Amino acid sequence: MASARASSSLLLFTSSVLLFATLCAATVPYAPGLLESFYNDTCPQAASIVRSYVLKYLTTDSSFAGAFNRLQFHDCWVQGCDGSVLLNSTSTNSAEREAHVNFGLRGLQEVDEIKAALEYACPGVVSCADLLILAARDATFLAGGPWWPVGLGRRDSRVSNDLSADGNLPFPVFPFDILVANFASKNFNAREMVVLSGAHTIGRSHCNGILPHIYNFTGGNNETDTDPTLNPGFAAYLKRNCPFGNRDNSIPIDSTSDKFDNAYYKNVQNGKGVFITDSTLITTTLGNSIVSSFAEGDSTFFQEFADAMVKMGNLGVLTGSQGEIRQKCQFVN
């Protein structure tokens, strides 16, 4: 269960929500079957349990903010927000978490711990899918980002497949037009794609997704095949921390990686995007205009990010009698 330290910090957290948070209204309608009040009668403490554990993890390692944010995206973008990214592989099936695009996925063990606490308090009530939505929202806020209300009532799927993940999630080497097409397939426009790319303002990344940017930009696969638009000093920094062939090292993905802010867009403008998908945002007039607006402090970034996260949370949800409420997020019941 959550430590006494986390419990006392939770009180401060709740107070700060009221006093200092950027509170974003729910301007995007929830998918049918989702309600902010869904657990009010069956597990009223659900949100506070998730929040206390997220706070505990971020107090120990602030980079978990990015990990929890990534988990929502990597779950919802593949067959909907159904907790499928959390399922283990079996002897006959390779699950989403084994996909190439999910290399280095973090937070899975922490999600299991949160789920155990929810099951202790309210057995068989709160889904793993909803847990991910709550954790991403709380982690974003704790890192200095916006707070937004969330609709709840999702249920968990029984299906997870690595090929589905690799076929739906954007790889970190996608150029602008392919990114736009990928997001359009989920009914997100180019601006929303650039907004959600702002999640790269928090957390860390393994070098696996960075290597093509500094060693294989044109397919040469050598130590000089680097994106020529990268700031030379930044390219050298990436190469020091991600040596040729080393997929496993990890680095912060933003100059203020512990804080949710607009520094990401400033970095992209200055040739300091970690991934090809970052640097590509300013290769078109449209993308460059949006990045410039947020880099200059456009006050709508927090609200637009919150709206996009709520919209993402509506993707492919299972409600009512669909799916199940898993007892453990790694396994179907």
Catalytic positions: 74
CA 111 to chain centre: 14
Query: Positive or negative, the Cα torsion across 170, 319, 35, 13?
Result: negative
201 marked among binding-site residues: yes
> In whole angstroms, what is the distance from residue 274 CA to residue 200 CA?
9
156 marked among binding-site residues: no
CB count within 10 Å of CB 331 equals 11
Helical segments of the chain, H only: 4-19, 46-60, 64-76, 108-121, 128-142, 162-168, 176-184, 190-197, 211-215, 232-241, 263-269, 276-279, 285-295, 301-312
Residue (of 151, 152, 149, 194) closest to 306 by Cα position: 149
Query: Residues 146, 140: contact at Cβ < 8 Å?
Result: yes
78 marked among binding-site residues: yes
197 marked among binding-site residues: no
268 marked among binding-site residues: no
Residue (of 123, 130, 119, 146) closest to 33 by Cα position: 130
Query: Residues 318, 157: contact at Cβ < 8 Å?
Result: yes
254 marked among binding-site residues: yes
80 marked among binding-site residues: yes
297 marked among binding-site residues: no
218 marked among binding-site residues: no
298 marked among binding-site residues: no
Pairing of strands 146-147, 22-23: parallel
Query: Residues 114, 6: contact at Cβ < 8 Å?
Result: no
278 marked among binding-site residues: no
Annotated binding site for Ca(2+): 75, 78, 80, 82, 84, 96, 201, 254, 261
Annotated binding site: 75, 78, 80, 82, 84, 96, 170, 200-201, 254, 261
Annotated binding site for substrate: 170
Annotated binding site for heme b: 200
